[in-house]
Chain A
């Protein structure tokens, strides 16, 4: 059986694509794929699982937008729709961070948009 790194990456990506439904991660499909992998126990299973997990985590983080503010805030619907439309995210979570004086910090996958007072002052002082 071919166990080269390139083959394992291709296999992991294939499994990842099979885990999606309408472009979103499907929890049921993920469970089925994991069960199948556990039963078949292919060579280099840990490497396949690591790459598969990384891809799923990346996709999940892209599907979710985390907005950090000083206190809980109610977002306007137009703002939420605009964010979902621009990023393709399906879930928006508001987290509180008491270290933020005012402003907001938005996370989406690898992207971070920081409009907090701390960041503005950091830009001035550096």
Chain B
């Protein structure tokens, strides 16, 4: 006790200060540290939730990336397939068109050949007719100039004999 007195410490005052300290501690804990701790806890919870959400979002993003990659791959393969089909169809159409064109060309050639042949035949016939007419005229003129009177008379009598038989 003397020691306490030597150091100037009054037990009553000390006790009172202790009581005051405890009261202040209780009040602080009740009205100050409590809300702060609660705010900190809430903040901690929100951060934890945010981190969880971030992980979830990251997973979702990863899944989405995988899906989009898969979709892109599928789309690319489909596009390549469509392009290949289109090329095949274009080749087939080109082949068909070429075959049709060849057929049309052959038909046109045949038709032209037939027309040329017909025209040639017609010209030959006309030439033959003209030649015959010319020959007939030449024969008439040559015989008319060179036939002697007796020969002409003899031929005329033969013709009259033929007519006599026919009548």
Q: Which residues of A pack against B, CB within 8 Å?
A: 67, 69-71, 73, 75, 79, 82-83, 86-87, 101-104, 106, 108, 113, 115-118, 121-122, 124-125
CB distance from A8 to the nearest CB of B (A): 35
Question: Is B144 a contact of A115 with CB atoms below 8 Å?
Answer: no
Interface of B is mostly: helix
The proximity string for B residues 136-167 relative to A, scoring 1 for CB distances below 8 Å and 0 otherwise, is 10011001100101011101110111111011
CB distance from A103 to the nearest CB of B (A): 4
Could you tell me the distance between the alpha carbons of A70 and B129 in the complex, rounded to whole angstroms? 27
The 10 closest A-B pairs by CB, nearest first: A115-B159, A121-B136, A103-B159, A102-B155, A125-B132, A113-B163, A101-B144, A102-B152, A104-B159, A86-B167
Question: Is A70 a contact of B160 with CB atoms below 8 Å?
Answer: no
Q: Which of B132, B147, B167 touches A124 (beta carbons < 8 Å)?
A: B132
Contacts of A124 in B (CB 8 A): 132, 136
Question: Is A82 a contact of B164 with CB atoms below 8 Å?
Answer: yes
Q: Which residues of B pack against A, CB within 8 Å?
A: 129, 132-133, 136, 139-140, 143-144, 147, 149, 151-153, 155-157, 159-164, 166-167
Contacts of A83 in B (CB 8 A): 164, 167
Question: Is A104 a contact of B160 with CB atoms below 8 Å?
Answer: yes
Could you tell me the distance between the alpha carbons of A101 and B164 in the complex, rounded to whole angstroms? 20
Could you tell me the distance between the alpha carbons of A115 and B140 in the complex, rounded to whole angstroms? 14
Contacts of B159 in A (CB 8 A): 102-104, 115-116
Interface of A is mostly: mixed
Could you list 12 A-B pairs, sorted by A, with CB under 8 Å?
Answer: A79-B164, A82-B164, A102-B151, A102-B156, A106-B167, A113-B163, A115-B159, A115-B160, A118-B140, A121-B139, A122-B136, A125-B129
* Most chain B CB neighbours (cut-off 10 Å) among A86, A113, A115: A115
Could you tell me the distance between the alpha carbons of A122 and B135 in the complex, rounded to whole angstroms? 11
Q: Name 12 extra pairs, CB < 8 A, besides A115-B160, A117-B143.
A: A71-B152, A71-B153, A79-B164, A87-B167, A101-B147, A102-B151, A113-B163, A118-B140, A121-B136, A124-B132, A125-B129, A125-B133
